[in-house]
Structure 1
Amino acid sequence: MRLLHTMLRVTDLEKSITFYTELLGMRLLRRKDFPEGKFTLAFLGYGDESDHTVLELTHNWEVASYDLGTAYGHIAIEVEDVYAACDDIKSRGGQVVREPGPMKHGSTILAFVEDPDGYKIELLGGGR
C-alpha cells in the first residue's frame, strides 16, 4: 500500500495551480474537465504519480466558497532553507502566515504559508 494523493477543493483553479507551481515548485501532472459533473481535477506534485504522493485540486464549477472546517491541519513540504523559501514566496506575492523560526517547544525550523483558499502549508527545513 502507499498514499496516492491528498485532495483539496479550490474555488479558483487557475490561481491555485499558479500558487502550487510557481510559489511551491510543483508541476502540473494532469488535468481533466468533467462537463457532465461540472468539475475539473488537476493533479500536481514534485514527481510522477507512479512514484510520488501528489496533490489533487478539485474545482466544482458552481461553488464560490468552502468552509474549511476545524479538522484540517496542514500539508507539510520539506524545503532546503525555510527562510529563503519564505522570502521567495513573499517576493512572488504569497502569504506567509507564520514567519520562519524554531518550532514552539522544539528546535525544528518551520514556517506556514497559505494558499489562495486559505489552506495552510507547513514548510520544514531539510533534515528535520
Structure 2
Amino acid sequence: MNFKGEQHPGVKMPTGDTLGFRLNHTMLRVKDPELALAFYTRVFGMSVLRRLDFEELGFSLYFLARLEEEEQVPEEKGERTVWTFSQKGLLELTHNWGTEDQADFAYHDGNAEPQGFGHICFSVPNLDAAEAWFDANDVEFIKRADQGKMKDVVFVKDTDGYWIEVVQADRLAALGD
C-alpha cells in the first residue's frame, strides 16, 4: 500500500503504535428497537450479528452489518462476539429500555439546531434502483439524487429521524476538488 492519505494542516503520520487500529462501529440510540431493526434489516438488507443485553444498566446493543454471501460468521455466541468486535463498518443500535413506551420521547438527530452528528452512509450498486426501493418501502427522503446543489447523493431518514446518505461510488468521481 503506497497511498498514505491526503496531507492537510493538522494531519500527522501514524506511528507503529496504531498498527491494527480500525473503526469497528458507529452507534445510534433508538427509541424502539423493533421499528429500527425492521427498517435496517428490510430497507438496507442488514443482519443482526449480535445482541448484548445489560440488565443491570437497562439497555441493549444490536450490532448490524450488511454481510456478503461468502462471509463465515461464527455460530457460538462468544466467538461471534469476538468476531463482531473485529469487523469494519458496523452499525450499533442502542436501546435504552422503556423509551419505546414514552410517546413524546425522541433522540436529537444531530441535524436540527444545535447541529452535531450528521449522518451515516451506505454505498449502493445502483442509486436509481435504491431510490425506487426506498419509494416502494415508504422511506422518507430528505433529498433525492437530482435535487439540490450536490447531485447523485441521496439522503433519507430512518425511524428515529437519523439521516442516511446513500451514494453510488462510480457516480462520485468528480465530487469536490
Which one of 71, 89, 93 corresponds to residue 53 of structure 1?
A: 89
- The two structures have a TM-score, normalised by structure 1, of 0.88
Question: Following superposition of structure 1 onto structure 2, how do residues 11-22 of structure 1 map, counting pairs within 5 Å?
Answer: 11-22=31-42
Structure 2 counterpart of 1:100: 145
| Higher-strand-fraction structure | 1
Q: What does residue 24 of structure 1 align with?
A: 44
The reply to whether residue 125 of structure 1 matches residue 125 of structure 2 is no
For 1:59-74, list aligned pairs within 5 A. 59-63=95-99, 64-69=105-110, 70-74=115-119
Classify the secondary structure of the residue corresponding to 1:65: coil
Are positions 1:112 and 2:132 aligned together? no
Structure 1 Cα separation of the partners of residues 126 and 167 of structure 2:
8
Say if 2:28 is the partner of 1:8.
yes
Query: After the TM superposition, which segments of 4 or more aligned residues of structure 1 sit over 6 Å from their partners?
Result: none
* Residues 84-116 of structure 1 deviation map (CA, whole Å, 9 limit, x = unaligned): 1011012112112211227725xx511011000
For residue 145 of structure 2, give the secondary structure of its aligned residue in structure 1. strand
Unpaired stretches in structure 2, ≥5 consecutive residues: 1-20, 68-72, 74-83, 100-104, 173-177
User: Which residue number in structure 1 is paired with residue 4 of structure 2?
Assistant: none
The letter of the residue matching 1:57 is L
Structure 1: 5+ residue stretches without partners: none
Q: Residues 7 and 52 of structure 1: is their aligned pair in 2 closer, same or farther, counting only changes over 3 Å?
A: same
TM-score when normalising by structure 2? 0.65
Change beyond 3 A, Cα 1:103–1:45: farther
Distance 1:116 1:74 in 2: 14
Question: Percent of pairs identical after alignment?
Answer: 40
Alignment check: 8 A CA contact 1:23 1:89 kept: yes
* Structure (1/2) with the larger helix percentage: 2
Letter in 2 for 1:115: D
Which one of the candidate residues 81, 84, 87 is aligned to 2:126?
Answer: 81
